Amino acid sequence: MRRVGFPFPFPLSPFTFYLLPLALTLSLAVKIFDSNQIREWDQYTIQHEPISSLNLMERAATACVNWIEENLTEPDRFLIFCGTGNNGGDGLAIGRMLAAKKKDVHLYTLDTKGSSDFNANVERAQIAKLPVTHILNSAAFPNSKKGDVIIDALFGTGLNRPVSGLAAELISHVNQQGQKIIAIDIPSGMFADQSSKDNLTVRADVTLSFQVPKPAFFMADQSDAVGRWFTLDIGLHPGFYASTPTRLEFTDAQDISKIIRPRHPFAHKGTYGHAALLAGSYGMMGAAILAARACLRSGAGKLTCHIPKSANTMMQIAVPEAILQIDEDELKISGFKPKSDYQGIGVGPGIGQFPQHRELLRGLFANRKRLVIDADALNVLASHQELVHEIPPQSILTPHPKEMERLFGASTGDFARMEQALQKAAALDVIIVLKGHFTFIAFPDGKGIFNSTGNAGMAKAGSGDVLTGLLTGLVARGYSTREAAVLGVYLHGLAGDLAKDEIGVEAMQASDIINHLPMAFLSLPETPIFR
C-alpha cells in the first residue's frame, strides 16, 4: 500500500496498513467508518471482548508508542497537548509510556478535570511522578525548542463543532511552533466525516489513525492538516467490522485479486472481447495513441480505433496492433456506426468539441451499449445537458474535478464533490470515476470506493487517456463496469507507482504508466486455486 504524503525528516518504516484478520478479508475492500460507527465499534469491543474503556485506551497508547519507537530515533523530548476527553486520555497514556522509556515528556492539558478515563490517566501520570501542567489561559502556553516533537491529543473523532476560545488559541500556538507534529487518531479541529476546510485545525506532519482511516483523510482539501497518515491496529473487535455495512471503502491488493480472472489456456483473440475507441483529432492524436496502447495492454482480444482520415499513417505506425476505422472527415471524428461485436466502447480522448459531436454521442447512446466516457466527450455532454439522461445504464464516466464541475455544477469542497458523485451515479445509473490522488469511484447503489494506488508523478497530460483505454479494454474483456472501474483504476495507479519506483515522479510521462502496466498485472497477488 502506498501513500505519498508530506516530507517527514525522521526515518520512517515503509508505509503499510495493518493486516486485517482473515475473517475480515471477505469484504470487498477496507471499510471506512464514520464517526458514529467508530464510537459504536469502541463500545462493541468493550462489551464483547470484554475490556474496560481504560484498558482499551492503554492498548491504543501502546500502539502509538510502538510506532514512535520504530520510526523516530530522535528526539528525546516530547510536548504532548491533551484535551479532557478520550483523545486527551490517549495522550496522557502515551506520555506516561514514553517517560517510562526514559524520554523527556512534558504533558499539558486544557483543564484540570474531564472524562473518567482522562481523570484516571491524570492520576496515573501523577503516580508515575510525571508532572501534568493544566493550561487555564494563553499565558500558560509553552514554547518549544528546536528538535522537539509535538503530539496532538486535544480532540478526537467526537468533535462536532469548530474549535473556539482557549482551544483555538492553543491550536494556533501549536501550529506556529515550527516543530514536527504527530496527531493522535485525527488532527484536532478536524471532523472525521464532513468538511473542515474552513476550520482551524492542527496541521500535522503525521496522523496515527486507530484501526481504519477516516473519510477526511481522502480529501485533497484536508491533506495539509493530515500530512502522512498511518493506521494502527488497536485490537477493536473484528465482529463489529464484519457485521457493519459502510457506504465508503478503500481498495487493497487482496480486493483486486478477487476481481481479476486468469486467462484460459485455450483462449483465442475472440475470447477476450473487441474494444472500440473513438479518439483523436487534428493536433490531438497523442491522446488516441495513449488510449489505444493502454487498451491493448488491458488484455482485450482486439481493438478498433475510429480516427480522422489524416491520422491513418500515424496510428498504423504508433499502434500496429490496432484495427483502424477511418472517418470520412480529414481532421475530426464526424460519425460512428458501432458494430454489434464491440463489447466495450470508449469515447472522448482528444476528439475536440465540434458541432457534429452532439449527434455522435446521441447515436452512441441510442445503441445502449455500456460506454467509457472521458475528456472531450464529457465536455460535449456538459454543453448539451439534454444528453446526460440518455447515457446508457452502467456506463463509466471519468471526470477530473473541473470536468465534474462543468458537467454537474460547482461544489463547495471535496466532501461535497464526493456526495455529488454518489448522487449523480444513483440518479443516472452510471459509475463515476472522480479522478484525483485517491480516485473516488461512485456506484449507482450509493456505495463509493477510494483507490489506494497512484502518486503525484501521474499528474501529467495523457494520464487520463491511459485510464480510458485501460477501462475500455477491461469492459471489452467481459468485466462488469463496476469490476472494470475498480480493477482499472487500481492497475492504472499501481503502474504509476511502479514507474515512480524506477524513474521518480518529476520526469514521469503518461507513456511510462502504459509501459509499466505489464508489471502491474504481475504484481497482483496470485489468483487462488479455489475461489
pLDDT score recorded for residue 75: 79
pLDDT score recorded for residue 337: 86
Q: E strands, 113-247, where?
A: 132-134, 149-153, 180-184, 206-210, 228-232
- In a shared domain, residues 185 and 278: no
Question: Average pLDDT in the 170-189 region?
Answer: 98
Question: Domain span at residue 436?
Answer: 272-523
- In a shared domain, residues 203 and 317: no
CATH number of domain containing 389: 3.40.1190.20
- In a shared domain, residues 279 and 383: yes
In angstroms, what is the C-alpha Rg of the chain? 26
Name the least confident of 82-96, 218-232, 248-262, 364-378: 248-262
- In a shared domain, residues 333 and 209: no
pLDDT score recorded for residue 527: 66
Residue 15 has pLDDT above 70, yes or no: no
Q: Give the confidence band of 14 by pLDDT, cuts at 50, 70, 90.
A: very low
Residue 144 forms part of a structural domain: yes
Residue 258 forms part of a structural domain: no
Question: Average pLDDT in the 264-289 region?
Answer: 96
At 149 the three-state DSSP class reads strand
Residue 520 has pLDDT above 60, yes or no: yes
Question: Average pLDDT in the 31-43 region?
Answer: 96
- In a shared domain, residues 223 and 372: no
Residue 17 has pLDDT above 70, yes or no: no
Name the least confident of 28-32, 199-203, 294-298: 28-32
Asked whether the beta carbons of 354 and 381 are under 8 A apart, the reply is: no
At 482 the three-state DSSP class reads helix
Higher pLDDT, 13 or 79: 79
State what percent of residues in the chain have pLDDT above 70: 94
CATH number of domain containing 47: 3.40.50.10260
Residue 164 has pLDDT above 70, yes or no: yes
pLDDT score recorded for residue 252: 85
- In a shared domain, residues 295 and 237: no
Q: Global pTM?
A: 0.92
pLDDT score recorded for residue 20: 30
- In a shared domain, residues 429 and 495: yes
pLDDT digits 0-9 by tens, 399-457: 999 999 999 999 999 999 999 999 999 999 999 999 999 999 999 999 999 999 999 99
146 is written with which cell numbers?
Answer: 528546536
DSSP letters, 395-427, are -EE---HHHHHHHH---SSHHHHHHHHHHHHHH
Give the separation between CA 131 and CA 113, rounded to whole angstroms.
15
- In a shared domain, residues 168 and 223: yes
pLDDT score recorded for residue 19: 29
Question: Average pLDDT in the 88-113 region?
Answer: 96
State what percent of residues in the chain have pLDDT above 90: 88
Residue 13 forms part of a structural domain: no
- In a shared domain, residues 98 and 177: yes
Residue 232 forms part of a structural domain: yes
Degrees to nearest 5, angle at CA 125 with 121 and 128: 140
Asked whether the beta carbons of 339 and 369 are under 8 A apart, the reply is: no
Residue 14 forms part of a structural domain: no
Residue 10 forms part of a structural domain: no
Number of C-beta neighbours around residue 297 at 10 A: 22
Question: Average pLDDT in the 315-326 region?
Answer: 98
Number of domains in the chain: 2
pLDDT score recorded for residue 530: 61
